[in-house]
């Protein structure tokens, strides 16, 4: 069902999330089959690094799938033929857990009886991964390392955006325009409330990093912040700015809630 949803979903962000779920389910299947090493690789690569790679790609290409100009019937036929051949190949495999399977007659007894003398490691799994299947383990490490380098390379690339006007436009120009808009709005708020311009400061950066440093530089006694209510899922992915700031703040913190603020308890009562 997840595979069908991945094929039919047009939202690429949802596709990436479903792919990660599929990888975690595959890792769970490997755990049930006592293939913990394969499960670890599937969880780290299939559900972890691959998802990061695809998320990095979405930030550059957009999350909407491009419309199809043709029907991929040939590709679908190839998939069905390949899947049929794979299923046909499993008919010659021994039953799962069969005592007379070839792996239990030749390879497994060698690992159990001779691994201590040949490798010198008490743990059989460690001896298999580090000696008998060393090249396989080396390949898995190379794949994970290559994927990690790919993620770092993609995240470090500057994102170019199309300009609505003639000429070039980059992330730096967009950031400059955003800073100018923020500065204009900041000056309007300062003038509206009659605040002394010499005591007003506009600092760019991450709140929980810049605010504590700025409060230290001016030796502030108390910091006043506005806060909103987020549910547990939003706090998981977005985080709580006030809580992060409080961890690094050297002085007292006063939270001011907006008029429309509702506590989680109030929201739960209304839902009930």
| Token pair of 115 as six digits | 């691994």
DSSP letter assigned to residue 133: T
Q: How far apart are CA 190 and CA 196, in angstroms?
A: 8
C-alpha triplet 151, 156, 159: angle, nearest 5°: 110
Entry field: residues in the chain = 272
Q: Both 8 and 75 in a single domain?
A: yes
- Asked if residue 82 has pLDDT above 90, the reply is yes
Phi, psi angles (nearest 5°) of residue 157? -75, 135
pLDDT level of residue 80 (50, 70, 90 thresholds): very high
- Asked if residue 81 has pLDDT above 90, the reply is yes
Residues 8 and 27 sit within 8 Å (Cβ to Cβ) = no
pLDDT level of residue 3 (50, 70, 90 thresholds): confident
Whole-number percent of the chain with pLDDT over 70: 81
Range of the domain at 186: 171-196
* For range 92-100, the mean pLDDT: 80
Residues 143 and 45 sit within 8 Å (Cβ to Cβ) = yes
pTM for the predicted model, two decimal places: 0.39
| Token pair of 89 as six digits | 């190949």
* For range 7-20, the mean pLDDT: 84
Helix (H) or strand (E) holding 224: strand 222-226
Q: Both 128 and 34 in a single domain?
A: yes
pLDDT, greater one: 127 or 62: 127
Q: Both 6 and 82 in a single domain?
A: yes
162-186, pLDDT tens digit by residue? Answer: 444 444 445 566 777 878 888 888 8
* Beta-carbon count within 10 A of 154 CB: 16
| CATH number of the domain residue 116 falls in | 1.20.120
Residue 164 lies in a domain: no
Phi, psi angles (nearest 5°) of residue 237? -90, -35
pLDDT level of residue 238 (50, 70, 90 thresholds): very low
Q: Both 43 and 123 in a single domain?
A: yes
Tell which residue, 221, 230, 228, 206, has the closest CA to residue 253. Answer: 221
199-229, pLDDT tens digit by residue? Answer: 888 888 778 788 888 888 888 888 888 776 6
Q: Both 44 and 72 in a single domain?
A: yes
* For range 57-85, the mean pLDDT: 80
Q: Which pLDDT value is given to residue 263?
A: 67
């Amino acid at each position: 069902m997840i595979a069908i949803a991945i094929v039919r979903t047009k939202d690429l962000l949802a596709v990436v999330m479903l792919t990660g779920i599929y990888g975690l389910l595959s890792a769970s299947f490997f755990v049930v089959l006592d293939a913990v090493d394969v499960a670890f690789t599937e969880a780290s690569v299939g559900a972890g690094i691959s998802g990061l790679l695809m998320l990095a790609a979405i930030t550059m290409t957009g999350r909407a799938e491009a419309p199809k100009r043709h029907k991929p019937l040939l590709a679908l036929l190839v998939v069905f033929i390949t899947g049929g051949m794979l299923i046909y190949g499993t008919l010659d495999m021994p039953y799962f857990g069969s005592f007379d399977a070839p792996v239990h007659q030749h390879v497994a007894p060698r690992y159990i009886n001779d691994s201590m003398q040949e490798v010198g490691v008490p743990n059989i799994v460690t001896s298999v991964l580090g000696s008998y299947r060393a090249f396989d383990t080396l390949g898995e490490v190379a794949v994970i390392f290559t994927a990690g380098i790919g993620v770092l390379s993609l995240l470090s690339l500057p994102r170019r955006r199309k300009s609505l006007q003639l000429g070039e436009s980059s992330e730096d120009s967009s950031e400059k325009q955003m800073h100018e808009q923020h500065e204009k709005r900041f000056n309007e708020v300062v003038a509206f409330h009659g605040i002394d311009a010499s005591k007003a400061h506009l600092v760019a950066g991450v709140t929980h990093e810049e605010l504590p440093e700025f409060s230290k530089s001016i030796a502030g006694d108390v910091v006043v912040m506005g806060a909103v209510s987020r549910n547990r899922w939003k706090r998981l992915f977005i985080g709580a700015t006030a809580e992060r700031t409080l961890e690094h703040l050297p002085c007292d913190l006063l939270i001011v809630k907006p008029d429309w603020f509702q506590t989680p308890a109030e929201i739960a009562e209304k839902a009930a």
